[in-house]
Amino acid sequence: MNAPMPEPLVEVSDLCREFDVSKPWLNRLIEREPKQFLRAVDNVHFNINKGETLALVGESGSGKSTIAKMLVGLLEPSQGTILFGGQRMRTDTSAEMQVLRKRFQMIFQSPYASLNPRWRVGEVIAEPMTVLAIVKDRREIQKRVDELLVLVGLSAADARKFPHEFSGGQRQRIAIARALSANPEFIVCDEPTSALDVSVQAQILNLMRDLQDELGLTYLFISHDLSVVRHMANRIGVLYLGALVEIADSKTLFSNPVHPYTKMLLDAVPDLAMTGRERKRVEGEIPNPINPPTGCTFHPRCPFANERCKREVPLLKAYGTGVASCHAVEEGRID
Amino acid sequence: MTTPVLSVKDLVVEFPTRHGPLTAISGVSFDLAPGEILGMVGESGAGKSLTGSAIIGLLDPPGRIASGEIWLQGERIDQLRGDDMRVLRGRRVGMVFQDPLTSLNPLYTIAEQLIETIRTHLEISVNEARKRAIGLLDDVGIPAASRRIDDYPHQFSGGMRQRVVIALALAAEPALVIADEPTTALDVSVQAQIIEVLKEQCTQRGASIMLITHDMGVIAETADRVAVMYAGRIAEIGPVKDIIQNAMHPYTSGLMGSIPSLTQEDDRLVQIPGAMPRLAAMPAGCAFHPRCERVFDKCTASRPQLIPMGTHEVSCWLYDDATAVAAKP
């Protein structure tokens, strides 16, 4: 395959985010406790190329949504940088950021919470255009709203309705139309279908793929559902307790997972095809992120853990087309 | 032939409103054999949870059973009231709900809740009940059960809490366990563990399970038979493997195709146009006909009943001998 050199649109390096989860000042004083921090995202490093879909998967508390928020400038990283088209992402309202913000949008998990119930759908969809001052003429805005509604499979007449008049799937279509109204290059989708039923989910996933082909969009797709991720993504990153444990091509990750956590996650997915494939029993649960295990955070659940895993944090190393962070793989203890 | 543990006949559940009654469940019938695991699958609003609530008499008023019969081990239970129903719940029918945090009382320790449940249904001393409770927690895989039994629910993780709920459901050795979305609130790696514990413990005790979920994957892993519900009716019912690999009802095959697969190379998911009808605007005839690709005149006119087709039963006019010929393309 002689595809053109991939051009990174988003470059994330050494990204960390800590949250202060300490008790109030007086309690700390009386109970003589130090401040407590939760490291939600820990040294995450990845690129997203133009026109591709990168998916991040992980269980609850793995830092997926925190990364999403930092990528669109809703949350300040504690450490590390995010470059968008070569420009550094910040959370302030400077002129450069205003220009940069026109280039990306976000779709949220619940279309019930992300649409203002007191606004008409037309106003909801027009908001990014007016706020970012992309289109100023009212008639032109109206025209664009109508086009967007048709694009996402609704009708132009729906612009006058309120969000409550729509079903969950239709609302998510409205949220997609809103994200598209500023003509972005990059859309961060945070669990866009997990609030929807499967048949509606299929409609939304198909729509998102069609739009990507049509408009040349780049997606960061966040989900806990591996089968959805496999369907949508070109590359997949697996998160565990805030750290990336493996990134690989979608096909490679499913056919040939490297990291023991990825293997465990794949084994845990119910097998709809009923092929009766051999599966390992999943052990244990995610530990408390306030007090994570030392060394490799996965070692208490890992069947291949040894002394080194308990001591030393593994680094991402290249294996085939992807990267993974595991001492056991590095030492050749597992293939 | 053995008596089924649970037998639901023509169940109709209605919600009276100012504009007349809304029929949420309309003519649902199925049997559950001893030791069998029946999956109930469907999208939100299909009536799967409501069927479960109707069986254990926990319908929220003004919802009521308008007609039909429910039989538990050969005894009719849909007309039981108050105390009689309370004795039955927990003793003969155990329940596991979606969110383990709301089904446990946060103000009581696990020991208090388990002992209370056991002593409500069985006449044994507190000490014996405690021993039994520890045994139960051991069975559902709670490490160091004798120590952890005196903890409060908030001291357990989500997966451990759901194990406690399963222990509670099994406390009085019920003949039937109704599990309503038992793993929906949990992560995938924990979900697999919980499903395994539920299945293993019920099988050991010979209890049947009615497993209500929207996740076809969970059903495929767990259930013996599955009932696919749509708009308050059973669209298709039959052995899991047959339904998954050889769905007959157009809704079931659409539903199966819309699930992204882990193993199959697929470019596009099957898409069922539209959404499930609202209760107030239920279409005439087959409830699925406005979304169905293979609709013909009979579908809009009258409602199909469950027709036996080999191992399945399917409610679709395509499989009715008298009309099938007309529908052939």
Over residues A241-256, the pLDDT tens digits come to: 999 999 999 989 988 8
**Does residue A4 surpass a pLDDT of 80?**
no
- Cross-chain residue pair B216–A198, CB shorter than 8 Å: yes
Selection from B14, B46, B48 nearest residue B278 by Cα: B46
* pLDDT value, residue A213: 92
Banded model confidence at residue B235, pLDDT cuts 50, 70, 90: very high
- Cross-chain residue pair B269–A60, CB shorter than 8 Å: no
* pLDDT value, residue A335: 64
3-state secondary structure chain B: CCCCCEEEEEEEEEECCCCCCEEEEEEEEEEECCCCEEEEECCCCCCHHHHHHHHCCCCCCCCEEEEEEEEECCEECCCCCHHHHHHHHHHCEEEECCCHHHHCCCCCCHHHHHHHHHHHHCCCCHHHHHHHHHHHHHHCCCCCHHHHCCCCHHHCCHHHHHHHHHHHHHCCCCCEEEEECCCCCCCHHHHHHHHHHHHHHHHHHCCEEEEEECCHHHHHHHCCEEEEEECCEEEEEEEHHHHHHCCCCHHHHHHHHCCCCCCCCCCCCCCCCCCCCCHHHCCCCCCCHHHCCCCCHHHHHCCCCCEEECCEEECCHHHCHHHHHHHCC
CB-closest option in A227, A268, A281 to B260: A227
**Does residue A2 surpass a pLDDT of 80?**
no
Of A86-100, A149-163, A177-191, A227-241, least confident by mean pLDDT is: A86-100
Q: What is the pLDDT of residues A82-104, one digit of tens each?
A: 999 888 888 888 888 888 899 99
Selection from A269, A279, A271 nearest residue B241 by Cα: A271
Percent of chain B exceeding pLDDT 70 equals 96
* pLDDT value, residue A36: 86
Pick among A164, A197, A210, A229 to test the B interface (most B CBs inside 10 A): A197
Residue A278 contacts B, CB cutoff 8 Å: no
CB-closest option in B220, B245, B258 to A199: B258
Residue B269 contacts A, CB cutoff 8 Å: yes
> Of residues A294 and B261, which shows the higher confidence score?
A294
- Closest-CA residue in chain B for A275? B263
- Beta carbon pairs, A and B, within 8 Å: 119
Quick one: A198 exposed, middle or buried, by C-beta within 10 A (0-12, 13-18, 19+)? buried
CB-closest option in B157, B245, B261 to A285: B157
- Closest-CA residue in chain B for A272? B217
**Does residue B1 surpass a pLDDT of 80?**
no
Q: What is the dihedral of CA A99, A104, A109, A115, to 10 degrees?
A: 50
Q: What is the pLDDT of residues B273-283, one digit of tens each?
A: 888 888 888 88
**Does residue B83 surpass a pLDDT of 90?**
no
Quick one: A80 exposed, middle or buried, by C-beta within 10 A (0-12, 13-18, 19+)? middle
Banded model confidence at residue A274, pLDDT cuts 50, 70, 90: low
Q: What is the pLDDT of residues B92-104, one digit of tens each?
A: 999 998 888 888 9
**Does residue B328 surpass a pLDDT of 70?**
no
Residue B174 contacts A, CB cutoff 8 Å: no
- Cross-chain residue pair A199–B190, CB shorter than 8 Å: no
- Cross-chain residue pair B255–A270, CB shorter than 8 Å: no
Rounded Cα–Cα distance for residues A253 and A65 (Å): 21
- Cross-chain residue pair A270–B193, CB shorter than 8 Å: no
- Cross-chain residue pair B262–A206, CB shorter than 8 Å: no
- Closest-CA residue in chain B for A201? B258
Q: Which residues of A touch B215 (CB under 8 A)?
A: 270
Pick among B41, B181, B184, B189 to test the A interface (most A CBs inside 10 A): B189
Q: What is the mean pLDDT of residues A114-128?
A: 93
* pLDDT value, residue A1: 44
Backbone angles phi, psi at A211, to 5 degrees: -65, -35
Intra-chain end-to-end CA distance of chain B, in Å: 41
Rounded Cα–Cα distance for residues A82 and A59 (Å): 23
3-state secondary structure chain A: CCCCCCCEEEEEEEEEEEEECCCCHHHHHHHCCCCCEEEEEEEEEEEEECCCEEEEECCCCCCHHHHHHHHCCCCCCCEEEEEECCEECCCCCCHHHHHHHCCEEEECCCCCCCCCCCCCHHHHHHHHHHHCCCCCCHHHHHHHHHHHHHHCCCCHHHHHCCHHHCCHHHHHHHHHHHHHCCCCCEEEEECCCCCCCHHHHHHHHHHHHHHHHHHCCEEEEEECCHHHHHHHCCEEEEEECCEEEEEEEHHHHHHCCCCHHHHHHHHHCCCCCCCCCCCCCCCCCCCCCCCCCCCCCCHHHCCCCCHHHHHCCCCCEEECCEEECCHHHHCCCCC
Banded model confidence at residue B323, pLDDT cuts 50, 70, 90: low
Rounded Cα–Cα distance for residues A39 and A41 (Å): 6
Percent of chain A exceeding pLDDT 90 equals 48
**Does residue B135 surpass a pLDDT of 80?**
yes
Banded model confidence at residue B158, pLDDT cuts 50, 70, 90: confident
* pLDDT value, residue A109: 87
The domain over range A51-75+93-103+185-294 is classified in CATH as 3.30.450.40: no
Both tokens assigned to A268: 């845990």
Rounded Cα–Cα distance for residues B134 and B144 (Å): 9
Residue A167 contacts B, CB cutoff 8 Å: yes
Q: What is the pLDDT of residues A229-245, one digit of tens each?
A: 988 999 999 999 999 99
Percent of chain A exceeding pLDDT 70 equals 95
Backbone angles phi, psi at A186, to 5 degrees: -130, 130
Residue B260 contacts A, CB cutoff 8 Å: yes
Q: What is the pLDDT of residues A203-225, one digit of tens each?
A: 899 999 999 999 999 999 999 88
User: Of how many residues is chain B composed?
Assistant: 329
- Cross-chain residue pair B262–A227, CB shorter than 8 Å: yes
Predicted ipTM? 0.79
Quick one: A263 exposed, middle or buried, by C-beta within 10 A (0-12, 13-18, 19+)? middle
- When the pLDDT of each residue in chain B is averaged and rounded to a whole number, the result is 88
| Torsional class of A41: left (φ above 0), alpha (ψ -120 to 50), beta (otherwise) | beta
Q: What is the pLDDT of residues A292-326, one digit of tens each?
A: 888 999 998 888 888 999 999 998 888 888 899 99
Amino acid identity, position B158: G
Q: What is the pLDDT of residues B21-40, one digit of tens each?
A: 899 999 999 999 999 999 99
- Closest-CA residue in chain A for B291? A199
Percent of chain B exceeding pLDDT 90 equals 47
Rounded Cα–Cα distance for residues A311 and B231 (Å): 56
- Cross-chain residue pair A199–B240, CB shorter than 8 Å: no
